Structure 1
Amino acid sequence: MSILEVMIIAIVQGLTEFLPVSSSGHMVLTEALFGLKVPGITFEIALHFGTFMSVLLVFRKEITRILVSFFTKIWKIRQIPRNYREDEWFRMALLVLLSMIPAMLAGLFLRDFIEGLFDSTKSVGIALIFTGLLLFITQWAPRVQKPLKGWNVLFMGIFQALAMIPGISRSGSTISAGLLAGVDREKIAKFSFIMALPLIVGATILEIPEIKGGSQISLFNISFGMLVAFFTGIVALKWLIKILMRGRLASFSYYCVLLGFITVALS
C-alpha cells in the first residue's frame, strides 16, 4: 500500500470518526467505491488508537478529573449515593458506565448480525439515510438545559448501540439523542465522546487476538497512518464542537441523506 493510500484511509477515519457521518459506513464505501481496503487488523487498531488519543488530548482535563474522582471514591461503598449527588465528576464516571450497557448487550447478542451488515453497501446507504433524518430533526429539539441524568444517558447509550450498524454515526446518533432529550449542548459535546472511550478500548482488546503473523503493511506506514488519524481527529473534534454549540448539527443531514441515496442506487 502506498503512502498516499495510507493517508487517504487515515484521513477518512480521523474525520468520520467524530463528524456525524459514520466512520464505519465511510470505510465500507471507501473500500467498495475506490478499492481502498484497510490492510489488516494491525493497521485498523492503529487508526482507532490515533483517534482514541485525539479524544484524550482534547478532553484531557475532564477525563483526568473523572478518573481521579472515580478511583478515589468508588471504594467508599456507603458514600456512593452522596458522592453521586455532590461530585459532578464522580457522577459522570458512573453515567459513562451506565451508557455502555446497551452497546455491550448488542455486542454480546448481535455481533454476528452486525458484522454481516459490513458486507452490504445497500444497508450502509439505508443507515446513512437514517443518520441524516435523525440529524435533521434535531432542529426541533427542545431548547431546555437539562442536566445529564440516568434516563437521558441511557437513551444516548441505546443510540450508541444502534450506531454499531455501519452507516449510523455514533457521534451523530448520541448527540442527536442528547439534544432530543433536552440535555445542555456543552454537556453533550463532552459526554458524547467521553462515553465512547471505554467501548473503543474494549473493541480494540477484542480485535487484538485476531492479529495473525506479520503485518501486511510496514511499521512506518502504520505509524504514519496513526499520526494522520490523530491530527485529523483533533481537527474534526474541535470543528464539530463549534458546529454543535452554534446549533447547526442538522447541516450534516443533507450530506448523509444524499450519500445514502447514491449508495443505495449504486448497490
Structure 2
Amino acid sequence: MASFLYSSSLYAVQVACDALRGGACDTAIAGGVDIILTPSVTIGFCQAGMLSPEGQSKGFDASADGYSRSEDVGTVLLKPLKRAIAELQNLRSNKGAVILAKTRKEFVNLLQRNSNRENVDTLIEGKAPEGNVIMRLVFVFSGMGTQWWGMARELMNTQPLFKKVIQRIDNYLGQIGGRWSLIQMLTEETDKNRISNDTEMSQVCICSVQIVLVELYKHYGVIPSAIIGHSVGEVAAAYAVRLLSMKNAVKVIYKRGHLFRKKVGLVQWLLEFNPRCIDVAAINSPTQIVLSRKTELIN
C-alpha cells in the first residue's frame, strides 16, 4: 500500500499493522511519498513567510525561523515481532537479495515462496564485501535559483581558504570590467533582493561559491569520481575538471550574467505584448524561469 503526505504515511503503517494482527496477511509493506511537482505551493508558503530563509527546519529551537520543504520516499516491510526475530537469526550479516519479477502479483508470489524457503529461480543473492568499501562521490553543480542573501557568509567567516579564493575571483572580476565587489556581496550586502534580481550578480555569486567549494573540498581530501553541471553550474563543472582555468571560468560566467541582464527588458516586453511567442523551458525556482523560443524572437 502507498500513502502520501506526512501523517497519512503513519496511517498506512497503522492499516498494515491492523492487517497483521487480524491475520489478513503475514507480511505487509507500507510506504509514504512526498513529491513537489509544481512551484505553486512553495510560492504560497514563501509569500506567507512560512519557509526558513536558511533552508533548514529547526523544530522546537529558539532559532527556528520557518521550515524547509523536501521530497522523500520511504517504505517499510512489516512482520509480527516473533517471526521477524526468528527470521533475522537465520540471516548472515551483510547479506542481500534481489527478486526479479515482471508484475506485482508475481513479485508477491515469489516473495512469499522465498519466505517459506522454497527455491526461487529469479532470486539473486549476494554478500557485501567486508573491510574497505569503495565509495563513489559525485559533485552536482546547480543552476539559477539557488542564490540567496547571506549565502556563504558563514564560510567567509570561518574558512580562511574559502575567503582567500573568493578574493582571488573578486580580483579577476575587477580586471574584466566588474563594477561591484564579490567580497562585499558575500559579507556586507544588506539589500536582500539585490542578489536575486540582478542576473549578473546572482550568476557570478553562484558559480564563484561552487568553484571555491571545489578548492575547499580538495583541501580536505574530498575528490569526486564524477561531475554534473546544469546551466550556471556547467561553468563551475568545467572548472572542476580543468577544462577552464579559474580566470576563464570567471570571465565566462560574468559575460553570461551580463548578457542575461541586457535581455530582461526584452523578455518582459514579449511576455506583456506577445506571450505566445515564447515557451517555458524550465522552472529553476519559484522566482527563476528559463524561457525558450526561436533565436530571431529572442535576439
TM-score after normalising by structure 1:
0.23
Q: Which has the higher relative contact order, 1 or 2, with Cα contacts under 8 A spaced 6 or more apart? A: 1
Larger Rg: 2
Structure number with higher strand proportion: 2
Higher helix proportion (structure 1 or 2) = 1
Q: Could you state the TM-score of these two structures normalised by the residue count of structure 2?
A: 0.21
